[in-house]
Structure 1
């Protein structure tokens, strides 16, 4: 797996640098700064290396750029790899915005790359193919405790929470107006997320609350958000589970050419689900998100950034500094920026926080659990 990730990182960095050269802003997956460097005695990547150990061949002037452009935070200077999600999901678009802002504001450089989602991001951290990753709050707990998605893979404990950033709604998307309840999915062709993502277990939970078995009562397919949207448009599936911050790029693009419908959950079944799985909370997707006739009631989990325990505290401090000192400009660049706030950022209890994050939040008068 490490070899594949290293290739993906190299391609992503090359593509991102090309986008930067073309003046792309907002959603580019690569920070504005990279520099050459090596590894320290502990084998950690220092400025300019990808998490997989490959080096960018750049001049000494490029190396100086990372530290010389520092505008705040602490003396970090490490180049971090940040795995996000599919290129039509919220993780990637928002991750690119955050990476750019952190690079502009601090000495730490962050490169956001596409990935297979929450489970894949945890596994990339475990394999030292990434330094940071987006993850659903439920999947983070699965990994830390070695349950559900991580029952076979095994417990992963050498990562920490950086910050919770926004809520990810369970979106059940269809082009068929006759599908008005989760119960109406029985016997239908339904995408339940890409293999390696947390969407599958969200689908299991939601369907289960309505008495449906994912393997027996629906015809499941395993597709990314973008592939799910294409399959809906082509009539190959009847509905798709998408767990991401709304509006989500893949669904927004679909709604531009088709009448999109989202399935609401009723209070009775949501209460049952939350009682059995308390990491869910009730949430509302406004009608304005996709132009639906009314607001959609559903459940949501948190979108959390996690990091390997051995990432320098100064660089994790800088990640938090770059995000929470620039909330207004991030909000202007991406809709999810409106959900950033320190109270939610420090609300995670399932996995302790990284010391660098704890240092930043302590300066803001917020205490978080630390390993």
Structure 2
């Protein structure tokens, strides 16, 4: 009874391990860090800082992965977020506070997007120069494309000065200030990094100035803004003095379920590649870590961990954690292979025992036939033949019936005793017949 119960338990455990193996492999396959075949990065219009940074990040990713990385031009933050959630792109740069981050995760803050209120120094139409925000009332102001972070910042600033309904909002690019012979556009509210090439192109003409903002008030009123000062002569001859303003962070974002491998590659491409050589205002890893924005991707937290990132033990443990399903599956596979091998060996052993028992029964029957045949025989020569036959059967059994389980069987002991008794009996008859 014990053997069938043990076999049932072993069979049940083997099935359980097989299911664990299949489940672990499935979990590992589904959750393993993977990369898109082509990495698409949503930026903004060509010529802007988002677009230029996106190009450099794409180049770094291609070098690191050997896969194509492509910049997708968009209207700005809102379109980027929508495309990212819809799976049309894999990475995006958005302006903090301009879009909802629901379903998204921040890889890192990238740089400060500074609010620049650009006004004409001396309008040709005879209108008075714009020296304060109240002078914008009734004028046409460029605020950026619909859905861009630039437009969102501009409306926040205009709302703060109660001018949102008092100005005409223009959705053209701010470089239109240079292509405006009639000076239709009186000003532009531009939120971008100070290294934006188009911004430099406009301000270095010397035809425009920057209005100061109530920066401290805006900093307190809007969570995504922080106080910032534009230094004088940043774009000689503009500005002629330090200009207080506000800035928001440009963020690199991905979907919440983006693989940790993609996020790690992005961080390496931004902080450990040549990106800081091209953009001096890029946040350093220390600055990015200190900002600690909400909805930060878990891989970013590990990346900036000053103790864990470079620790060998941490790296090993992180690798084990990432591949735990695969390791568990490997353990299950090893057990199943061992169990299969054990079962094959067990079946082979049972087959050998069965075969040798059949032979043993044959040898027993042969010795019984000899014992019956010798009972009425008293001729020494014939008895000697019987003795040789019994001895031959015994030697065959000892040489062929080698399985240790059979050697310990009671039937084998009876056979040996049978052979010994029969040999003694025949030898005794031979002695008596030769006297």
User: What is the CA-CA distance between 1:232 and the residue it aligns to?
Assistant: 5.0
1:233 and 1:89 map into 2 onto residues whose CA distance is 23
Q: Which residue of 2 aligns with 1:356?
A: 299
Q: TM-score, normalised by structure 2?
A: 0.57
Name which of 177, 190, 201 aligns with 1:242. Answer: 190
Whether contact under 8 Å (1:229, 1:250) holds in the other structure is no
Whether contact under 8 Å (1:170, 1:202) holds in the other structure is yes
| Distance change in 2, residues 1:359/1:98 (3 Å) | same
Whether contact under 8 Å (1:108, 1:319) holds in the other structure is no
1:218 and 1:101 map into 2 onto residues whose CA distance is 43
Answering whether residue 169 of structure 2 is matched by residue 220 of structure 1, we say: yes
| Counterpart secondary structure, 2:304 | helix
Q: Which residue of 2 aligns with 1:179?
A: 130
2:304 and 2:181 map into 1 onto residues whose CA distance is 45
Larger radius of gyration: 2
CA deviation profile, 1:115-162 (whole Å, cap 9, x unmatched): 1111111011111111111111112xx413xxxxxxxxxxxx221000
Q: Which residue of 2 aligns with 1:195?
A: 146
Where does the alignment leave 5 or more consecutive residues of structure 1 unmatched? 1-39, 49-78, 145-156, 367-371
Alignment of 1:1-371 (within 5 A): 47-48=36-37, 79-106=38-65, 109-139=68-98, 142-144=99-101, 157-177=102-122, 178-210=129-161, 212-214=162-164, 216-226=165-175, 228-230=176-178, 232=180, 235-257=183-205, 259-265=207-213, 269-291=214-236, 292=238, 293-326=240-273, 329-336=274-281, 339-348=282-291, 351-362=294-305
Where does the alignment leave 5 or more consecutive residues of structure 2 unmatched? 1-28, 123-128, 310-435
Whether contact under 8 Å (2:137, 2:163) holds in the other structure is no
1:355 and 1:253 map into 2 onto residues whose CA distance is 39
CA deviation profile, 1:32-81 (whole Å, cap 9, x unmatched): xxxxxxxx979x99553xxxxxxxxxxxxxxxxxxxxxxxxxxxxxx321
1:358 and 1:127 map into 2 onto residues whose CA distance is 25
| Distance change in 2, residues 1:346/1:111 (3 Å) | farther
CA deviation profile, 1:2-44 (whole Å, cap 9, x unmatched): xxxxxxxxxxxxxxxxxxxxxxxxxxxxxxxxxxxxxx979x9
Whether contact under 8 Å (2:94, 2:250) holds in the other structure is yes
| Distance change in 2, residues 1:168/1:234 (3 Å) | farther
2:191 and 2:115 map into 1 onto residues whose CA distance is 5
User: What is the CA-CA distance between 1:252 and the residue it aligns to?
Assistant: 1.7
1:247 and 1:359 map into 2 onto residues whose CA distance is 30
User: What is the CA-CA distance between 1:364 and the residue it aligns to?
Assistant: 6.4
1:117 and 1:200 map into 2 onto residues whose CA distance is 9
2:141 and 2:230 map into 1 onto residues whose CA distance is 21
Whether contact under 8 Å (2:215, 2:244) holds in the other structure is no
1:138 and 1:232 map into 2 onto residues whose CA distance is 31
CA deviation profile, 1:210-256 (whole Å, cap 9, x unmatched): 2x231x21121122344x44455651200011110013222222235
1:45 and 1:158 map into 2 onto residues whose CA distance is 19
Query: What's the C-alpha RMSD, in Å, of the aligned pairs?
Result: 2.7
- Between Structure 1 and Structure 2, which shows a larger proportion of helix residues? 2
| Counterpart secondary structure, 1:321 | helix
| Counterpart secondary structure, 1:340 | coil
| Counterpart secondary structure, 1:81 | strand
Whether contact under 8 Å (1:321, 1:360) holds in the other structure is no
Whether contact under 8 Å (1:97, 1:334) holds in the other structure is no
| Counterpart secondary structure, 1:288 | coil
Q: TM-score, normalised by structure 1?
A: 0.66
| Distance change in 2, residues 1:231/1:45 (3 Å) | farther
| Counterpart secondary structure, 1:320 | helix
Whether contact under 8 Å (1:86, 1:225) holds in the other structure is no
User: What is the CA-CA distance between 1:348 and the residue it aligns to?
Assistant: 4.9
1:364 and 1:236 map into 2 onto residues whose CA distance is 57
Whether contact under 8 Å (1:174, 1:232) holds in the other structure is no
